[in-house]
Amino acid sequence: MWEYTDKVKDHFINPRNVGFIDDFDGMGEVGSLACGDALKLTFKLDNENIISDAKFQTFGCASAIASSSALTEMIKGMPLDEAAKVTNDDIAKYLGGLPKEKMHCSVMGRDALEHAIANYRGEEVKEKEGEIVCECFGITNLEIERAVKESGLTTVEDVTDYVKAGGGCGNCHDRIREIIQEVSSQSITERQKMENLTNIQKIKLIEETLDREVKPALNKDGGDIELVDFNNGTVFVKLHGTCSNCASSHLTLKNYVETKIKDLVSPELVVEEVTQ
Amino acid sequence: MKTIYVDNNATTRVDKSVFEEMLPYFRESYGNPSSMHTFGGNVAAGITKARERVAALINAEPEEIVFTSCGTESDSTAIWATIEAYPDKKHIVTSRVEHPAIKNLFEHLSKKGYTVSFVPVDKKGNLDLDYLYEQLTPETAIVSVMWANNETGVIYPVDKIAAAVREKGIVFHTDAVQAAGKLEVDVKKNPVDLLSLSGHKIHAPKGVGALYLKKGTKFSPFLIGGHQEHGRRGGTENVASLVALGKAAELAKQRLSESTQKTAALRDKLEKNLLERIPNSMVNGDPQHRLPNTTNISYEYVEGEAILLMMNEFGICASSGSACTSGSLEPSHVLRAMGVPFTAAHGSIRYSLSGDNTEEEIDAIIEHTPPIIERLRELSPFWSQRKAS
Ligand SMILES: Cc1ncc(COP(=O)(O)O)c(C=O)c1O
């Protein structure tokens, strides 16, 4: 049994704005019967480009119906430009949250809105640009990248929960892992200008990098790493658990941690181990 | 609001007399059945009786019964014990429609060096027996085919399969978790080597099961430990639950014909009325070879989780093969194996009755369901498209 908020239950049992606006200004259709959920959204604009009415038809589970209902309530009365900025997280928040496994329902809402706005503006939504990664659900690398960036996803399961990719045969899991990796190194590289940072900012950046790039790998082998100090371009770290007892810990440190730090923070940095 | 429980393939209510028989084993007869004193010995006597009763349910000998902690443990034990007994045989066979207790284990073994043949089913859910027989080779260690399917209720010809498989010297296991208590399960008429049972599907508590092990079957324990269960499963016995399973087995045997007639009549009434009153609905699974208590109905163009939650508003408890109910994104592997199209697979509802259900309950389901389906179809873009065209 899913844990739905009262708001989700309410929007499911008493959905608002069900139907189809015959003289719509914009219409968006996403999903399919095969996927198990689908949404058709129509809206009408007034003279000031404010959404005066919105209606939906949805095939899907309770959270798909509730997300659609919530979306129509949210965008009614909104200027079109503002509606264009609504994200799936906004929809989920409006509902007081959705179970993680159901986040794809809110993504479907956002997608339908995007399609409807593009339809009004006479733009083609470039359907399926990029390469298909998940064959089972027809999800592209660009869709996965976007979800990873926007919602800060870190695991394959997260990606499946948000955009369904990887939820079928599982053959694409490696590729999804790669995409997550790419996105996370990009976002670090973007903030990379070490020279312009204060010492505190540098330490924060190093800590962040250790946390997301180094720690998980060490944790997997039962080890851990802690940032002790940063001084004059040298990063002092302490190793815990199995790596600290390991005779080759020095090697692990030089080879692994330093490469990561040099790669992702700055090539000037060196790493030193603190032993007591 | 009264609960209307038609989800008995998921689990059942513990029978009152079963519950009462368990009680003394918590605060009065709490000794360890392995102990040397009479206090413990009396507890062992309770287990002996339970073993006799479980054996009687399936027409086996008491020594052929090993108690376990659940149906899943019985399944796992049967498969692991057999592949350990035949370490050189690297081929195993099962059907495409097994419960995850078998399905996921076989998929796991396929990554551990085993070749697995998954036998397909036809549209009605019946096994392709010729395909099964063609798979059997001297390399085959075990064939495992469920006696009856938990989702559709379809019954498999275990007698025929067991005979054909054993003729080739291959071990045959059947998961009879859903068959027990709903059908005659007789291991003399159906010559299986190993058979799994679970307590909570026959009005005993959750967390107890049994494995039938035909005399002479090669076996090594799954739980290695003490000498309990004649060294076939270590671990101090969950006495109260074993006693409960014994009592439930006795009741299941006594009530079999009465209860199957009653549930079949109610199930048929439910099914007939729902199909008549709701357009674009159909039964999944062969009505000619089906458990008396189960019907699996697809309502096209609506999604199962939404139906269940609407039913929940009326206190009606059932299950669905839809993707959304399981947390996976694909609808039931059983329905997909049968080739049920996505339009119908997502909107499938399983109703599973027990002897406890009443005619009023069935009438209430018949009354409440059509408006629910109609309401959800009003919401569905596919339904309005269909109506328009
Ligand atoms: C056919 C079948 N096999 C095995 C099991 C697992 O039994 P248990 O829940 O006791 O582990 C079930 C129950 O869901 C079942 O229906």
pLDDT digits (tens, 9 = 90+) for B343-367: 888 999 999 999 999 999 999 999 9
What is d(CA B357, CA B375) in angstroms, rounded to the nearest whole number? Answer: 27
- Is the pLDDT at B98 greater than 90, yes or no? yes
Residues of B in contact with A29 (CB under 8 A): 381
Which pLDDT tens digit goes with each residue over B238-262?
Answer: 999 999 999 999 999 999 999 999 9
pTM for the whole thing?
0.81
Contact between B278 and B340 (Cβ < 8 Å): no
HEC sequence for A81-133? HHHCCCCHHHHHHHCCCCCHHHHHHHHHHHHHHHHHHHHHCCCCCCCCCCCEE
Query: Is the pLDDT assigned to residue B62 strictly greater than 80?
Result: yes
Residues in chain A: 276
Averaged pLDDT for residues B41-57 = 96
**Among the partner residues A2, A18, A160, nearest to B379 by beta-carbon distance:** A18
Model confidence at B372, in pLDDT bands (50, 70, 90)?
Answer: very high
Place of tokens 């080890």: A223
pLDDT of amino acid B269: 98
Average pLDDT for B290-295: 97
Instruction: Kindly list the structural domains of chain A, giving each domain's residue range(s) and its CATH number in brackets, ordered by start.
Output: 6-120 (3.90.1010.10), 132-195 (1.10.10.1100), 199-273 (3.30.300.130)
Residues of chain B neighbouring A58 (CB-CB closer than 8 A): 379-381
Q: Which helix (H) or strand (E) holds A157?
A: helix A156-163
Which atom of ligand 1 lies closest to the CA of B74? 11
Interchain contact, B329 vs A168, CB within 8 Å: yes
Whether B214 shows a pLDDT value over 80: the answer reads yes
| Chain A residues whose C-beta sits inside 8 Å of any chain B C-beta | 2, 9, 12-13, 15, 18, 20, 29, 33-40, 57-62, 64-65, 101-102, 136-137, 160, 164, 167-168
Is the CB of B99 inside a 6 Å radius of any atom of ligand 1? yes
Q: Which domains does chain B have, with CATH numbers?
A: 4-10+256-388 (3.90.1150.10), 16-252 (3.40.640.10)
Instruction: Report CA(B334)–ligand 1 centroid distance (Å).
Output: 15
Instruction: Give the gap in angstroms from C-alpha B306 to the nearest C-alpha of chain A.
Output: 5
Known active-site residue A169: no
Residue B89: what pLDDT?
97
Across chain A, which has 276 residues, the per-10-residue mean pLDDT values are: 89 95 94 84 95 95 94 95 92 92 88 94 74 83 87 87 82 89 74 66 83 78 80 82 56 73 80 77
| H or E segment and range at residue B209 | strand B209-213
Distance (Å) from CA B70 to ligand 1 centroid: 8
pLDDT at residue B227 is higher than 70 = yes
The pick from B75, B99, B208, B350 for probing ligand 1's pocket by mutation, whose C-beta has the most ligand atoms within 8 angstroms, reads B99
Q: What is the pLDDT of residue A257?
A: 81
CA of B99 to the centre of ligand 1 (A): 7
> B170 C-alpha vs ligand 1 centroid, how far in Å?
24
> What's the pLDDT tens digit per position in B298-342?
999 999 999 999 999 999 999 998 766 655 667 889 998 999 988
CA-nearest of B264, B313, B235, B259 to B67 is: B235
Q: Do B381 and A61 touch (CB under 8 A)?
A: no
Interface test with B, best of A61, A115, A176 (most B CBs within 10 A): A61
CB of B70 closer than 6 A to ligand 1? yes
10 Å Cβ neighbour count for A270? 12
